[in-house]
Amino acid sequence: MATLEVLDIHSFYGSIEAVKGVSLTVEEGEIVTLIGANGAGKTTTLNTISGIIKPRQGRILLSGQDITPLPPHEIVALGICQAPEGRRIFTRLTVLENLEMGAFLRRDKDGVKRDLEHVFALFPRLAERRHQLGGTLSGGEQQMLAIGRALMARPRILLLDEPSMGLAPLLVREIFRIIREINAQGTTILLVEQNAHMALSIANRAYVLQGGRVVLSGTAQEIRHNPEVRRAYLGEVS
């Protein structure tokens, strides 16, 4: 059973059509990556799934239920949470308060407590800084917080928008290791990345976006060996 189905969505900023009929599916338990150049429409696609942007056409189904018309907070309640591009942590809330905001809709106090410990175990640096203001964290720590915050919603599907942006290579590898770990623990992941190489190395399947359209899709393996992709996204000189 498909967990998330995006069916031919068209999303606009005013009269600019940023997403021109994207379709994709994410099956339960998968890591699916969405790669593409700057301005390809990756963030717009994620924000349309999250309900921040309403598509002018097309539908988004979660386990068969049409979630397209729902407001963002109800989409979160159904199990889709996003760690947005550029981290967007709440700079004037503490680390702990940021994590609490991720768990905003949850009523199971014990579960939240357990998940908090879980996030602190994944990111020990956050545990040390739990009473520090979000704005005082380093870029890498902020990225950890953004991922941890989204995890606190205990999503069925986690949307990650460029989690490796601006991080040192060592930290990038660390973040990708943790993404895999999160997935191994049962969370389905839709990963948007510029770093196609890393993304393809952990994903099951991939979609390549160009000019608001899906130009290529397949297993990560296939995509990685596609000559076009090698040239355009994996930095290989032909």
Partner 1 sequence: MRKRAPLDLTRSVITAIGVTLLAYVCLRAALTVVRGSYSATTYASQLIFGLAQGGIYALVALGYTLVYGILFMINFAHGEIFMGGTYVGYFVIDACARSGLLAQKPGLALILTAITAMATSVTMAVLLERVAYRPLRRAPRLVPLITAIGASLFYQYSFRGLFGTTVKVYPDVSLHVGRIDLISGRYSIGSLTVRPVYFVVFGMAVVLMAGLYILIQRTKLGKAMRAVAEDKDTAALMGIDVDKVIVATFALGAALAGAAGVMYALYNKQVTHTMGFIPGIKAFTAAVLGGIGNIPGAMLGGLVLGVVEATFPTLLGMDVQLKDVLAFGVLVLVLIFRPTGILGEVLSRKRA
Ligand X SMILES: Nc1ncnc2c1ncn2[C@@H]1O[C@H](COP(=O)(O)OP(=O)(O)OP(=O)(O)O)[C@@H](O)[C@H]1O
Residues of the shown chain interacting with partner 1 in the complex, contacts defined by CB under 8 A: 50-52, 71-73, 76-77, 81-82, 84, 88, 90-93, 97, 100-102, 104-105, 149, 153
Site for Mg ion in 19-58 (CB under 5 A): 42-43
C-alpha–C-alpha distance, residues 178 and 160, integer Å:
12
Distance in Å, CB of 42 to ligand X, minimum? 3
- The one of partner 1, Mg ion, ligand X, none whose footprint includes residue 101, by CB under 5 to 8 A per kind, is partner 1
Residue 41 or 196: the one with the smaller Cβ distance to partner 1 is 41
Q: Per-residue string for binding with ligand X, 80-99, x by CB under 6 A?
A: -----x--------------
Give the binding range for ligand X (CB under 6 A) out of 12-20, 70-78, 182-190, 196-204: 12-20
Residue 19 or 99: the one with the smaller Cβ distance to ligand X is 19
For the chain, the straight-line distance linking the first and the last C-alpha, in angstroms and rounded, comes to 40
Cβ atoms within 10 A of the Cβ of 60, count? 22
C-alpha–C-alpha distance, residues 191 and 181, integer Å:
14
**Strand order through the sheet with 188-193:** 80-83, 157-161, 188-193, 31-36, 205-210, 213-219
Judged by CB under 5 A, the number of residues near Mg ion is 3
Exactly one of 30, 31, 33, 44 binds ligand X (CB under 6 A); that residue is 44
Give the binding range for ligand X (CB under 6 A) out of 22-30, 42-50, 103-111, 200-208: 42-50
Give the binding range for Mg ion (CB under 5 A) out of 80-88, 92-100, 180-188, 198-206: 80-88
Residue 94 or 217: the one with the smaller Cβ distance to ligand X is 217
40 touches ligand X (CB under 6 A): yes
- The one of Mg ion, partner 1, ligand X, none whose footprint includes residue 77, by CB under 5 to 8 A per kind, is partner 1
Interaction site with ligand X (CB under 6 A): 13, 16, 18, 36, 38-44, 85, 194
